[in-house]
Structures are given as C-alpha cells and as structure tokens.
Amino acid sequence: MQNVVGCVTLATGQGYYSPVDRSPCVYFRIRISEEWREVYYVNVDGRRERCVRKTWKQVCDEERFTDFYLQDGTTKIYVNGANRGMCRVQSTTDYFGSSGGRYWDAPPPGVQEFISANLPQWDWQSKNEHRTGRYQFNEKKFEINEKVAAFGLITAGVDPMTNQAVKILSPASSTDLTEQFMEDHKFTDWDKRSWKEMTSPPAVLISDDKEFTENVHVAPAQNLPSYMTQYVAGNGNIY
C-alpha cells in the first residue's frame, strides 16, 4: 500500500468539464439550493398573526468522477475513477455561487446544461408565492494538473485507454492492515474505527487537501491535448 501524490490528467479520449465554469477536471461535486418563503403563524395577544421567513432548500447534491491518471511528469498511475463505488473522496470547495452575500437568479450556462440533463423536473425559472427566484451553489473539483493525493494498493495492469502496461492504484481493504500492524504503529481506537470505515467496502482514498500534497514536489504534465486545457464544445460532457 502506498500514498501517491501526482497531478491529475484524464484517462479518456474526450473532455470532462465542471458545470460552473466548464474547466477541465476529473471529478466534481455540485450543490444547489433555492430560497423559499415559508409561512407560519404565531399567537400575539390572543390573535393569530401570519408571518413569513426565508429559508434555503437544497435541490441538488451530485458528483461525477471519471478515469484518470496521477502523474509526475511523464510517469503515471491509473485510477478507475469512473467506478465511483471504489473511491472515497475528500475535496475542498473551489467555487461559491453566493460569495459576498450575492445570489444568482440565472445559473451559468454549464449549470443550466447540468440541470437540464439531471434535474428535468426542477423548473428553476418558475417563481411563485413561495419561491423567491434566488439560488446558491458551490462546487468542488479536481482540475487537470491539480495536485492530488491517493492511497491504495499499487498493482500491475493494462491501461484501458492505451492498452499499454501501467501501474494501477487499486482499492485498499480494511483487512490489509493487521491488528499487529496497528498495535506496532500505535493506532488509537479512533484510528482503527476510521480505517475500517474508510475501507469497508474497499476503496481508493483520494484528497486534494494541502496537508497531504503541499510538501511533495510533483512535475505537472506537459503537452496535454486541448480538451484537457480548455473547454472544447462537442468533445466531452459535464455530466
């Protein structure tokens, strides 16, 4: 088992883009909430008075992952990110749609496309007595050439994209660490429970937290195809 740090690049022949700004990435998670007016009643001096308060209701919390490499220059390890069930992800928030108290009344084009494809029942343009027409969103993502850490088992295999030999980062299982290993390395009960929870079922553990990446030097990937450096309409998807 190893902790591997590298810059992420796509292990696909087409682009993969985040909804908010359509930046090339290998993973994203988007959350959207809309503001509602809620009516409630209170008794004041024996009278029933109508009151209105505003509240936020979440309408979307979705994430997408695709196959990718962790690269150090030209050296790479393949991760089957498209198999979302085998990955446990910790990602920092990259974009807030309500920064500084501002809200949007129309989402960016990429978010509109994502809503159309994944939330057809939600007509975000309709307002009524209870819906104010204000929205918030935030997005997390692993952008191309972003430094990411991943923990798992290094195995030899064949790259599905190139059919060439490649090292593969495979899921770690809770049984990969013995009780004796944990005792020798002074695992606390909390450490042991955390390890079991993170690796049951077996998973590759992935994070862009600087705690795991900032002190590791990694050379960015060079000469990437255009679909990995910019949004190319018609050559990829955002969902």
Residue 223 gets the label, from left (phi > 0), alpha (psi -120 to 50) or beta, of left
Query: What integer pLDDT is reported at residue 108 of this predicted model?
Result: 81
Query: Is residue 76 pLDDT above 70, yes or no?
Result: yes
Helix H or strand E segment including 183: helix 179-184
**234 or 23: whose pLDDT is higher?**
23
Average pLDDT over residues 62-75: 94
HSE-up of residue 236 (Cα within 13 Å, Cβ side): 27
Query: Whose structure tokens read 């309500």?
Result: 98
Average pLDDT over residues 57-66: 92
pTM of the model: 0.87
For the chain, what are the domain ranges? 2-221
Query: Is residue 101 pLDDT above 60, yes or no?
Result: no
Q: Are 39 and 51 in contact (CB under 8 A)?
A: yes
Query: Is residue 183 pLDDT above 70, yes or no?
Result: yes
What is the rounded CA–CA span in Å between residue 133 and residue 127? 6
Quickly state the pLDDT bin for 96 (edges 50, 70, 90).
low
Query: Is residue 93 pLDDT above 90, yes or no?
Result: no
Query: What integer pLDDT is reported at residue 99 of this predicted model?
Result: 47
Average pLDDT over residues 128-153: 90
Helix H or strand E segment including 109: helix 109-118
Instruction: For 200, list phi and psi in degrees, rounded to 5.
Output: -130, 100
HSE-up of residue 92 (Cα within 13 Å, Cβ side): 12
